Structure 1
Amino acid sequence: MIFDTLKPQVKTIISNNTLNKDTRLFQVCQLLEAHVNYYNWVGFYFKNGDKNELKLGPYVGAPTDHTIIPFGKGICGQVAVSNKNFVVPDVTAQDNYIACSITVKAEIVIPIFVNGENVGQIDIDSNTPDPFTEADERFLEFVCAEVAGIL
């Protein structure tokens, strides 16, 4: 499985203390987007200080206008409130979805916890309908746990 080969690579990137945090996060995005063929946009959002909103961090994929997302709005904003994974097999079936691109068919968002607090999330868009499985969730939870170690 591709995820088993990516895990040690994620660990290597995250543990590279010669690079700053944003560079390491960007390299994780590059790794995932390059090696999982249905990951078409990979990025991080983080809580924006004391505000009830998310701010876009490092990402790979098409540029997005959604650099700030209020808590509760869209899939990312809902995960900021629920503290739970959110897998969307068909974005057109979601009422509270923020469209980034007409090519996006599915989305997965996994929260990042530091000391029990939801501090951000990894957000992945796919141009493939319903591509995400439980294996994606477990792998992305692993990625988020690794990322939490440098936040």
Structure 2
Amino acid sequence: MTFDALKPQVKDILSNQNLSFEAQLFEVCKLLEHHISYYNWVGFYFKNGDKNELKLGPYVGEPTDHTIIPFGKGICGQVAVSNQNFVVPDVSAQDNYIACSVTVKAEIVIPIFVNGENIGQIDIDSNTADPFTEADERFLEFVCQEISKRISNNS
């Protein structure tokens, strides 16, 4: 399924009033992991209150021990500090990579902004080397923007 075909489904999930926000995020994870063959782990991390750390939110894929990630550590922790997308074509080439699984070859992390503040991120691991393109980045930015709208409309 193409990214364009997935966009209305993401919007539908995030506007489903019968689901809690956590359930909506979990459904988005399931949608992406199911329809994009090289998305092998899809999850969200959010700023943990006033602490300089991220806390694992809904995800789909292998269980992870990384439920709390300090800012600056790993790819997710670096995105929490830089506020920039981070595409890693080869995780073995990264000095500051936190390995979740030996099968992971690549990772992409896109921040979620609400009112200009980085409040979290979507994190995707792939068991395929160098699978992510600019199209993935643009699509995941769209997903993050839709999540930001959902948060803003309900706060």
State the TM-score bracket (shorter-chain normalisation).
Answer: over 0.9
Give the alignment's TM-score, normalised by structure 1. 0.99
Q: CA deviation at 1:84?
A: 0.2
In 2, the alpha carbon distance for the partners of 1:79 and 1:132 equals 17
Q: Which runs of 4+ in 1 moved over 4 A?
A: none
Q: CA deviation at 1:27?
A: 0.1
Alignment correspondent of 1:61: 61
Q: Secondary structure at the match of 1:108?
A: strand
Amino acid of the structure 2 residue aligned with 1:11: K
Alignment correspondent of 1:23: 23
Alignment correspondent of 1:42: 42
Alignment correspondent of 1:111: 111
Amino acid of the structure 1 residue aligned with 2:133: T
Q: Secondary structure at the match of 1:149?
A: helix
Deviations 1:92-148 (A, max 9, x none): 000000000000000000000000000000000000000000000000000000011
The residue correspondences of 1:46-125 to structure 2 (distance < 5 A) are: 46-125=46-125
The residue correspondences of 1:120-135 to structure 2 (distance < 5 A) are: 120-135=120-135
1:8 equivalent in alignment to 2:8: yes
Deviations 1:8-49 (A, max 9, x none): 000000011121000000000000000000000000000000
Alignment gaps of 5+ in structure 1: none
RMSD, matched Cα: 0.7
Give the alignment's TM-score, normalised by structure 2. 0.96
In 2, the alpha carbon distance for the partners of 1:111 and 1:57 equals 14
In 1, the alpha carbon distance for the partners of 2:3 and 2:126 equals 17
User: Percent identity over the alignment?
Assistant: 81
In 1, the alpha carbon distance for the partners of 2:150 and 2:2 equals 24
In 1, the alpha carbon distance for the partners of 2:28 and 2:54 equals 19
Deviations 1:80-100 (A, max 9, x none): 000000000000000000000
Q: Secondary structure at the match of 2:150?
A: coil
Q: CA deviation at 1:150?
A: 2.3
